[in-house]
Structure 1
Amino acid sequence: MAEPFWLVRPRHDGGSDYVRFLPSQEAVEVREGSHLPPQMPLLKRRQWLPLKEAEDCRRHLQQEGGFRSSEPLF
């Protein structure tokens, strides 16, 4: 995971849940939130994970959480 990576899951109200992975040299910042345009995105959780844990998290969200890779939402 060398570049920012987005996962998105549509919601029933027309909005989206998102997870953004932003790697740095030592860890990966993981931001989880929701977005319902035209409102500002809502940040629900932010954490730093080691690269291996971030990869496992991404894989789990895609396989079990219904998230799909996406272009940035905003």
Structure 2
Amino acid sequence: EAGVTLAMGTDTQIDPAMGDNAHELEIYVEYGMTPAEALATATRNAAVALGREDDLGTLEAGKYADLVARIQAVE
């Protein structure tokens, strides 16, 4: 609402614990972000905050990326 761009950080030892990034994204959604907005904090927005948006942050040809896809059966 205030027009601030949020980028996920990983330098905390409080809740959520260090390395529990997925839980942090869930918290963002609980507090009103859409899932897409929450994901952007850890990808595009983080790259912009680091000044690396030309080579990180989005899935585009020529950019660096680590991607894990998980398929889970629907029961």
* TM-score normalized with structure 1 length: 0.28
Greater share of strand: 1
Greater share of helix: 2
* TM-score normalized with structure 2 length: 0.28
**Structure of higher CA gyration radius:** 2
